[in-house]
Amino acid sequence: MHRKTLAELAAGLERREFSSVELTQAHLARIERLDPALNSFITTTPEIALAQARAADERLAKGEAGPLTGIPIAQKDIFCTKGVRTSCGSRMLDSFVSPYDACVVERFNAAGAVMLGKLNMDEFAMGSSNETSYYGPVKNPWNTATVPGGSSGGSAAAVAARLVPGATGTDTGGSIRQPAAFCGITGLKPTYGRVSRWGMIAFASSLDQAGPMARTAEDCAIMLQTMAGFDERDSTCVDRPVPDYRAALGNDLDGLRIGLPKEFFGEGLDPAIAGLIHAAVDEYRRLGAIVREISLPNMHLSVPAYYVVAPAECSSNLARFDGVRFGHRCENPTDLADLYTRSRGEGFGAEVKRRILIGTYALSAGYYDAYYLKAQKIRRLISEDFRRAFEEVDVIMGPTAPSVAFEFGAKSADPIAMYLSDIYTIAVNLAGLPGMSIPVGFSNGLPVGMQIIGGYFSEDRLLNVAHRYQQATDWHTRTPAGIAD
């Protein structure tokens, strides 16, 4: 059953080829068998899953099912799940059992999806390799010596290893797209404001956005249909109709205008990846698209701007973890200052601390203008670059990451090198645009992802563009050796 895509499983449930309980048990068994080597789950929730599966089977029997009813999924452990530990990959929240559900979780529950568990991630979503998780790194199913990417590395690895047909991720600077690329799956970061952030533990509030991760664009469309939409609890969630994503999948691509930013193909890009991206673009030409070179002149400023804006927001967002109301509290604090500094010092890992420190510094008296305000202005320039580009093209294509999955430890000693692995994805978050990554081939046995960026709220078009490619190619169907059965 694990060979089937989410859409195929939904069809199988509909036709009663198997029950949701059977489907759930099969996936739970796979997790039990294969995940010890991958470490993609922080928590599994078999009791909840089986109860939800039974309820889904009843719904299916009554003919009240939707496309996700009875489908096993898993949540990135950044989404609050009522009654279930929600750790955010941190020692700080190792003991945190959320008293409420995130909006995304509520919507999957309402759709009748079955939650298998909570997925591993970089601590507080800060990382590009999943090496910062308190629960240990996730292994890339294609080669367990390499990282799965981050921060949604658990989600990407679990989908790639067919432990779950679809998973949620969050993307602040590339955290859906980069691991999707490293693990050879399909991931979509929607437009900022498309999916509610209620109950999604904040890293950088003006950049964070939740999205689906699955094997195909069609599966992502099904998941996004449930995730997207207005939520009055999130002031930054946009009240705007949600299109029928699946209905748009089949549109033809005749005359589609694709822009290739020359800045995406310069120095630092693995030539093998460049070759595969160009090959994929050729495929689009065959599908009727028109390709032209464009320029995003401020692209090179996106990583430095991001590493001011995101840490600044995180330094404030993570101030609530103080050992008073929830989360880690140090033993026997001698006074209030000791309670704060030691609880936080013990609860957060090194990368989180680095970012809190950078952000605190960038906002502090005397540095605010030179760092924070400057970065906000650069953010405007980057956003303007995209606005101009989308006057000429419908979608932008390029590599998702400059390299394939790297080995553990390769970049952990050098923060800047690690930050640069998000060089092609970060600008999209700064502008708030939607972006996808789809598998377009392999280099050295490891998957390569291509990024597709669209205008605001063009998720339907992105999914359509990705789907048509997946109809014409089979890269997205490849399965890592050793976990196929």
Residues 368-387 within binding reach of another protein (CB under 8 A): 368, 370-381, 383
Residue 323: partners with Cβ closer than 8 Å, 6 or more residues away: 329, 330, 333, 339, 340, 343, 344, 347
Q: How far is the CB of 378 from another protein (least distance, A)?
A: 6
**Could you tell me the smallest distance in angstroms from the CB atom of residue 380 to another protein?**
4
> Is 76 considered catalytic here?
yes
Half-sphere exposure in the Cβ direction for 104 (13 Å, CA): 32
Chain residues 341-360 in contact with another protein, contact rule CB under 8 A:
341-342, 344-346, 348, 353-354, 356-358, 360
Q: Pick one of 111, 195, 202, 296: the residue that binds another protein (CB under 8 A).
A: 202
Q: C-alpha distances in angstroms, 24 versus 53, 163, 283, 474?
A: 7, 10, 37, 27
Minimal distance, residue 11 CB to another protein, in Å: 34
- 449-468 positions binding another protein, by CB under 8 A: 456
Please state, in angstroms and rounded to a whole number, the distance separating the CA atoms of residues 430 and 426. Answer: 6
Query: Of 256 and 358, which CB lies nearer to another protein in the complex structure?
Result: 358
Tell me whether residue 12 or residue 415 sits nearer to another protein (CB atom).
415
Q: Which residue has the tokens 């030409």?
A: 285
In what order do the strands lie in the sheet containing 72-76?
A: 41-44, 114-119, 72-76, 166-171, 209-214, 186-189, 435-443, 446-454, 395-399, 257-261, 290-294
Nearer to another protein, 23 or 207 (CB): 207
CA 152: distance to chain centroid? 5
What is the dihedral sign for C-alpha 16, 18, 22, 23?
A: negative
Minimum CB–partner distance for residue 93 and another protein (Å): 7
Q: Which of 452, 438, 402, 425 is nearest to 274 (CA)?
A: 402
User: Is 175 annotated in the active site?
Assistant: yes
Which stretch, 11-19, 125-133, 264-272, 336-344, contacts another protein (CB under 8 A)? 336-344
Displacement of CA 361 from its chain's centroid (Å): 28
CB of 443 to another protein, least distance (A): 27
For 425-443, the DSSP string reads THHHHHHT--EEEEEEEEE
Bridge partner residues of 372 (DSSP): none
Q: Which of residues 203-242 bind another protein (CB under 8 A)?
A: 204-207, 232-236, 238-239
SS3 at position 410: coil
Choosing from 151, 196, 302, 315, the catalytic residue is 151
In the list 96, 142, 264, 284, the residue contacting another protein (rule: CB under 8 A) is 96
* Residue of 20, 175, 421, 458 marked catalytic: 175
Q: List the one residue out of 466, 395, 474, 472 whose CA is nearest residue 428.
A: 395
Interacting positions 280-319 with another protein (CB under 8 A)? 298, 300-301, 303-305, 307-308, 312-313, 315-316, 318-319
Q: Determine which residue in the list 15, 241, 293, 365 makes contact with another protein, applying CB under 8 A.
A: 365
Applying CB under 8 A, which part among 47-55, 63-71, 96-104, 466-474 lies near another protein?
96-104
User: Which sequence positions are flagged as catalytic?
Assistant: 76, 151, 175
